[in-house]
Amino acid sequence: MKSKILKRLFTYLKGSSGLAVLSIVIGILFGSATVAIPYFAGRAIDSLGDIGQLIVFLVIIAGLIAAAAVLQFALIKMNNRIAFSIGLNLRNATYSKMHRVKMSYIDKTSAGKLQSLIISDVETVSDGMLLFLNQFASGLATILITLAVMFFINWKISLIVVIFTPVSIAVSTFIAKGAYKSFAKQAEIRSRQTAYVGESVNNFRECKIYDVTDVRVAGFDEINGEYRKTATKATFLSSISNPSSRFVNALIYAGVVLTGCLSGIGGAITVGALTSLLAYANQFMKPFNDLSAVYTELSDSFACLARVFEYLDSPEIPEEKASDELPDKNRQFDIEFKNVSFSYVEGRPVLKDISFTVGKGESFAIAGPTGCGKTTLINLLMRYYEPDSGDILINGQSIRDIPRSELRHYIGFVTQDTWLSDDTVMENIRFSGSHISDKQVFEACSKTGCDSFIRKLPKRYNEMIDNDRDDISEGQKQLLTIARAMASNPSIMILDEATSSVDVVTEDRIQKAVNELLNGRTSIIIAHRLSQITDCDKIVVIDGGKVSEIGSHAELIANGGFYSRLYASYVSE
């Protein structure tokens, strides 16, 4: 079962290590108590002629049974706490990792896969750990103490058990290897199932609009069929592990019975001792049988655990030491892209030798056709990705030398994709920090014009909202995200298609508020609606991943270049 994975798992025992030690001690005591019972039962059988001694042995047996029951109750209770403590720590680690992995990992991984890994896979690991812990310490104690007592009673008969036990282990191990591979594949397919269902739910309307419900159902049937095939194989392989080991164990038990009976006939062993040996032969194999009985769950758990650790080992953003105190947000910045080239896939550059400068307090627009690399420039500025070559400077300092948290402290970012936290309107607006006062929230909402519809909500600013709320339009959600950026009072403002979901009338109102917000601030604006950038101080035109031209709207129109043709096409629509 891959001991390295198991050792690593126990590093997540934070806060429960003392409990784990106590669990091992109690497990050993429980195993000792259960092993002692057959021994005294044999002694009781041999003392049937002596009533006084028989009563003593019966009292001892009763005491051992009671002690074993109490110990087992305590063991199960503690193991529950340990298993779910490990699950808690593992789930915290996987969720925390999600905030540290490189952006490329998030871009290439479906949300459903991450959800399945953090929730379902970790839960499966917790369940498997509980089964394992309930068997481990007591089972190991049972095996060792049983073996010692058997050799004490009759070493010759005990040798039969020792010699043939490896056969049982070998059979189980052989089956286990095939089952583990199948369970690993099953976990991967289950992740795809979760992602597929999440995608269908999140895009339910699109599926209805384009009448592809049958296609989506067929796609799920295909994944489900693949899951059924793999799960059936995995369950079959794990299921035959227990009968196979029990068959071998039955042969061992038969050998002990035969040898013991022959020894008993010759007077080499008493009836009571033979009874104890037979009980021990069965008890010795019980831990192996118990583990093989729950092997399906254990195999699934280890397959999920391997996936979790693979995710935890994925590359992450290097740690950076931020300044003790962040400089004043009211300072002004200039931004310079210096010979920047970048590619998401090696050998397929998106940006090629890009150079331009955004002056302090200057409004700067990036224009160009879809897919030319406009948003990629912002991704590089925000340090979601690092350039393949070249550099980006802020006030003459490379952003590589500025911690990400400090860099983003100065930037307000409104994207074309709206996102709202499952919280109140008030908390959504001051998402960037609790230092934002209610007054600042009200001012930001008033400037963007979203105050009018917020006050129509049942609880106004205390209304709970989220991304899936249908009685708030996409345009209104966009207004809230713009208000959120305004409330953070950034030094640098970035608008990436920020009004793509807003009607023309609302856009005009927002544009006036945005102009007020951008006044005196360094700003970068990306917009397909070229009317939004005609008043910008400068416009850089990107075409084919390269800088095509730079200038004001009037200068670019006068040049009669690519921008002029792009604008002519826009106004003629």
| 124 vs 330 pLDDT, higher one | 124
Query: Looking at the predicted structure, is the pLDDT value of residue 2 above 70?
Result: no
Q: Mean pLDDT over residues 261-274, rounded?
A: 74
Q: Give pLDDT, residue 292.
A: 62
At 36, which helix (H) or strand (E)?
Answer: helix 17-46
pTM: 0.69
- Please tell me the least confidently modeled range out of 9-13, 228-232, 234-238, 264-268: 264-268
CA distance 468 to 428: 14
Residue 497 to residue 526: CA distance in whole angstroms: 6
Give per-residue pLDDT as tens, 91-128: 888 888 888 888 888 877 777 778 888 888 888 888 88
CA–CA gap between residue 490 and residue 508 (Å, rounded): 22
- Average pLDDT of 162-175? 72
Which residues neighbour 559 within 8 Å (Cβ) at sequence distance 6 or greater? Answer: 549, 551
Task: List the domain boundaries for the chain.
Answer: 3-312, 335-571
Task: Reply yes or no on whether the pLDDT at 66 is more than 90.
Answer: yes
Which amino acid does the sequence have at 82?
Answer: I
Residue 553 CB contacts under 8 Å (≥ 6 apart), including other chains: 533, 534, 535, 536, 539, 567
C-beta atoms surrounding 48 within 10 Å: 11
* Pairwise pLDDT comparison (245 vs 114), residue with the higher score: 114
Predicted local distance difference test score (pLDDT) of residue 326: 52
Model confidence at 70: pLDDT above 90: yes
pLDDT for the residue numbered 226 = 87
Average pLDDT, the chain: 80
Task: Give me the CATH code for the 335-571 domain, please.
Answer: 3.40.50.300
Residue 158 pLDDT > 80, yes or no?
no
Q: Is 214 exposed, middle or buried (0-12, 13-18, 19+ CB in 10 A)?
A: exposed
- Encode pLDDT of 189-204 as tens digits: 887 888 788 777 777 7
CA-CA distance, 426 to 454, in Å (whole number)? 10
Residues with Cβ < 8 Å from 329, sequence gap 6 or more? 409, 410, 489, 490, 491
Using CA atoms, how far apart are residues 428 and 414, in angstroms rounded to an integer? Answer: 14
Domains 3-312 and 335-571 fall in the same CATH topology: no
Segment 484-518, tens digit of pLDDT = 888 888 888 888 876 665 666 666 666 766 776 67
- In a 13 Å sphere around the CA of 466, the CA atoms on its Cβ side amount to 3
- Cβ atoms < 10 Å from Cβ of 359: 15
- pLDDT at residue number 63: 92
The three-state secondary structure class of 179 is: helix
Q: Is the pLDDT of residue 182 over 70?
A: yes
Q: Given the DSSP bridges, would you call strands 546-551 and 538-543 parallel, antiparallel or unpaired?
A: antiparallel
Please give the CATH architecture assigned to the domain spanning 3-312: Up-down Bundle (1.20)
Backbone conformation region of residue 15, classed left if phi is above 0, alpha if psi is from -120 to 50, else beta:
left
